[in-house]
Amino acid sequence: MSEGLDRERWLSDLRSRVPEIGADEALARQQAGGLLIDVREDNERASGSPTGALGLSRGFLELRIEQVAPDRAQDILLLCGSGQRSLLAAEALQRMGYARVSSVAGGMGAWKTAGLPVTAGALDTDAAERYSRQILLPQVGEAGQARLAEARIVVLGAGGLGSPALLYLAAAGVGRITLIDDDRVERSNLHRQVVHNDARAGMGKAESARMTMMALNPRISVKVVADRLRADNVEALIRDHDVVIDGADNFATRYLLAAATRRLRLPMVYAAIERFTGQVSVFDPRREDSPCYRCLFPEPPSAADAPNCAEAGVLGVLPGTLGLVQATEAIKLVLDIGQPLVGRLLTYDALGMRFRELKLRRDSGCPGCGTHAHFEGYSDLERMCAAAI
């Protein structure tokens, strides 16, 4: 009995210091410009939240409130499940100097009883838990996570670059990933191609990668294409995607990919590695100022000038670093956040542990995107690259 009385006194004392308002008044003040914050946990909000409310769990409120409400005079309305957590949250904001803080009496229960507008949660309970740390980012949130779930990204190659990119795209919740690779797993791959394992030596790389990705995140969909990118299939394989990640290891494939992404107006996240160095950029034909791959390499270099990993060797962790940058750029493009590497070439020297950024401008004389550029077909590109070998 004493414990119950103490709790009642505590709640009474809290209510004497924190203004409480009804759900109808909360809606009116929200419509007048007030910030309504649902302080329940992500999994609680999965079943629905007041329309227009910001989802910000009680445990992270003090950490993030200044990002979303820098003005301490703003009208802030806090809502939880029953009205008690929101009282505590309001008190915490008062201590931080927020002058106009109110708690919605009865919480979400009262909001629903009053028949006020509710928006169904974009994420179910599993997704809310799985991506909770990512959803906390204001630039992502539930809406951004839903965009990732609807995104379609094609990755060319499940090798050194593709492996880390595929793992992190899957972990981030990219809903539909197409993986193109006709090669098989070899033990010489394993020091850098971390999406595979020793037991899968001899298995197709695309299927091996799919197994690892689905074990990491069974919510996503992975389409396997065990074929080589060629002049006669390049557009069909990459069409209907949002972003293309280039994990190719040869110039012929990369020139085909560059031409097709330009014609289909798809952003291409490029990377290349050799020994201890690598480079990354984004070529986005949707932007008028974006250079293309052939602004960087107008013609393919000879095989002697550009040996592959099998000939020159590569530090195992190097493609991991560059592949993660590719995954980062792809996610930024899907979410339309940050500044993509368009018009910039990021170079990496692992031995010196140095990153450098070089300006990469669109070339008016570029054979791919220049003023007088003329596309003569993918077969001609294949023949041009073959002549350079």
Q: What is the rounded average pLDDT of the residues 90-96?
A: 95
Question: Would you state the pLDDT for residue 141?
Answer: 84
Give residue 247's pLDDT: 96
Write out the catalytic residue numbers: 309
Shared-domain flag, residues 173 and 204: yes
Cα torsion 380, 248, 185, 386 to 10°: value is 30
Q: What CATH number corresponds to the domain at position 53?
A: 3.40.250.10
Could you identify the residue written with the tokens 């033990």? 187
Per-residue pLDDT tens digits for 254-297: 999 999 999 999 999 999 999 999 999 999 999 999 999 999 99
215 exposure class (CB count in 10 Å sphere: 0-12, 13-18, 19+): exposed
Looking at residue 303, its pLDDT comes to 59
Residue 5 binned pLDDT confidence (cut-offs 50, 70, 90): low
Q: What are phi and psi of 40, to 5 degrees?
A: -70, 165
If asked whether residues 164 and 291 sit together in one domain, one would say yes
CATH of the domain at 279: 3.40.50.720
- Residues 6+ away with beta carbon under 8 Å from 313: 275
Q: Which residues of 8-29 are buried (b: 16+ CB within 10 A; e: fewer)?
A: eeeeeebeeebebbebeebbeb
State residue 185's pLDDT score.
97
> From CA 262, how far away is CA 293, in angstroms rounded?
9
- Rounded CA gap, 181 and 210, in Å? 11
Q: Which of 98, 119, 140 is the last residue of a domain?
A: 119
Residue-number span of the structural domain to which 239 is assigned: 130-387
Residues 111 and 135 in one domain: no
Percentage, residues of the chain above pLDDT 90: 76
Q: Which is nearest to 195 in space by CA: 333, 306, 327, 335?
A: 327
Task: Classify residue 124: in a domain, yes or no.
Answer: no
Number of C-beta neighbours around residue 152 at 10 A: 16
Q: What mean pLDDT is predicted for residues 56-73?
A: 92
Element holding 337 (H helix, E strand): none
Q: Considering 119, 147, 170, which residue would you say is the last residue of a domain?
A: 119
| Cβ proximity of 156 and 245 under 8 Å | yes
- Mean pLDDT over 240-248 rounds to 97
Query: Quick one: pLDDT band at residue 388, thresholds 50, 70, 90?
Result: low
Q: Do 244 and 263 lie in a common domain?
A: yes
Handedness of CA 159, 301, 297, 380 (dihedral sign): negative
In a domain, 40, yes or no: yes
> Which of the listed residues 91, 119, 147 is the one where a domain comes to its end?
119
Q: Tell me the backbone φ, ψ of residue 45, rounded to 5 degrees.
A: -75, -10
Beta-sheet strands, E only, within 15-58: 20-21, 35-38, 49-50, 54-55
Closest by CA position to 215, among listed 237, 200, 202 = 200
The crossing angle, in degrees rounded to 10, of helices 141-150 and 318-335 is 110
> Which amino acid is located at 147 in the chain?
R
**Residue 379: its pLDDT value, please?**
82
Residue 208 shares a structural domain with residue 346? yes
Q: What backbone torsions phi and psi does residue 108 show, to the nearest 5 degrees?
A: -65, -30
Q: Cα(108)–Cα(70) distance, rounded to whole angstroms?
A: 26
Q: Are residues 97 and 181 in the same domain?
A: no
Does residue 90 belong to any structural domain of this protein? yes
Are 142 and 11 found together in one domain?
no
Answer yes or no: do 53 and 134 share one domain: no
Q: Are 55 and 45 in contact, with CB atoms under 8 Å apart?
A: yes
Vertex 340, ends 339 and 341: CA angle to 5°? Answer: 120
Please tell me whether residues 217 and 258 are part of one structural domain: yes
- What is the mean pLDDT of the segment spanning 240-246? 97
165-187 mean pLDDT: 97
pTM to 2 decimals? Answer: 0.75
Q: Are residues 136 and 112 in the same domain?
A: no
Q: What angle do CA 262, 265, 268 make, to 5 degrees?
A: 65
What CA dihedral angle connects 209, 215, 221 and 225, to 10 degrees?
Answer: 20
Residue 12 lies in a domain: yes
Q: CA-CA distance, 73 to 135, in Å (whole number)? A: 27
74: pLDDT confidence band, cut at 50, 70 and 90? very high
Establish if 1 belongs to a structural domain. no
CB atoms within 10 A of CB 67: 10
The pLDDT tens digits for 312-370 are 789 999 999 999 999 999 999 999 999 999 999 999 999 999 999 999 999 999 999 99
Say if residue 12's pLDDT is above 90: no
Q: What is the mean pLDDT of the chain?
A: 91
Is residue 212 situated within a structural domain? yes
Give phi and psi for 217, each to the nearest 5.
Answer: -145, 95
pLDDT per position as a tens digit, 297-327: 998 876 566 666 666 789 999 999 999 999 9
Amino acid identity, residue 168?
Y
What is the percentage of the chain residues whose pLDDT exceeds 70?
94
As for how many domains the chain has, the answer is: 2
22 and 171 in a common domain: no
Residue 374 lies in a domain: yes
214 part of a folded domain:
yes
Confidence tier at 1 by pLDDT (50, 70, 90)? very low
Q: What are the tens digits of pLDDT across the range 204-234?
A: 999 999 999 999 999 999 999 999 999 999 9
Under 8 Å between Cβ of 172 and 134: yes
CB 57 within 8 A of CB 39: yes
Same domain, 219 and 353: yes
